[in-house]
Amino acid sequence: MANIFEIEKFLNDLLDINKFNDYCFNGIQIEGKHEVKKIAVGVSFNKQFLDEAIENNADMLLVHHGIFGKDFFKIRGYFKKRIEKVIKNNITLMGYHLPLDAHLIYGNNAQIAKKLNLNNIESYDIGVKGNFDEDIPFEKFKRMLEKIFNRRDLLIYQNKNYVKNVVIISGGASYAIESLEGVADTFITGEVKEHIRDIASEMGINYINAGHYATEIFGVKAISNLLKDKFNIENIFIDTYNEI
């Protein structure tokens, strides 16, 4: 059993949350019972995740996509029902957004880079960049991605037959492509927009949209394992898969 404020302080320090001008408050977003025996971990705070967490007797929710908006927000409609259920069940909601993307050990992007066995991993935007020792045939690289993300419906714009220098920015990061010319031959992210196909082609960059959800399961899993070891807390990952 651990105290929610001890957990929050540990994660706030680890993830260095004050470095980020985020879209949300990072840390405890809804205060529930102070002593935690079991944490439900997931990507997004929604009804399906919440219902499964309650069924599994979780005391705390730890998510990547929690409540967005740092100041006042309206509590009405479907959102009111979510909040009401959290409060009635005395559950704590804790969310970490950009700090959990960017962390060089436990972050979404660092975890993906580790699974790819990239070398020389360093920060890039809120993601990472790294490289292979030698060129990897694109088809081999594609099979690696299908295994890591557990999906064969990756949206791919292939513009090179090899992969060596890779940038990874999970979630909604198509905006970053224009900074990659001369930096990387391959970009992995979690979304695509209409103009991206042509920019990737003209820049000669392999562009992989692996899905917003699929690229962001790794950070919360890594953090939950860390909390399990440090605080001896049971945890469960609740997979509410989203193809987007």
Q: Is 212 annotated as a binding residue?
A: yes
Classify residue 209 by burial, with Cβ atoms within 10 Å: 0-12, 13-18, 19+: buried
The type of residue at 62 is L
- Token pair 């930096």 is at which residue? 183
Half-sphere exposure of 155 (CA within 13 A, CB side): 16
Q: Is 64 annotated as a binding residue?
A: yes
Assess contact for 48 and 243: CB atoms under 8 A: no
Q: Which residues contact 86 (CB under 8 A, 6 or more apart)?
A: 30, 32, 50, 61, 93
Reading the block at residue 237, the tokens are: 């990952």
Q: Which residues contact 173 (CB under 8 A, 6 or more apart)?
A: 125, 126, 127, 189, 190, 191
Reading the block at residue 58, the tokens are: 């979780």
Q: Is 125 annotated as a binding residue?
A: no
Name the strand (E) or helix (H) holding 89: none
Helix intervals (H) in 56-126: 77-88, 98-102, 108-116
Q: Is 101 annotated as a binding residue?
A: yes
Q: Is 97 annotated as a binding residue?
A: no
Annotated binding site: which residue ranges? 64-65, 101, 212, 216
Annotated binding site for a divalent metal cation: which residue ranges? 64-65, 101, 212, 216
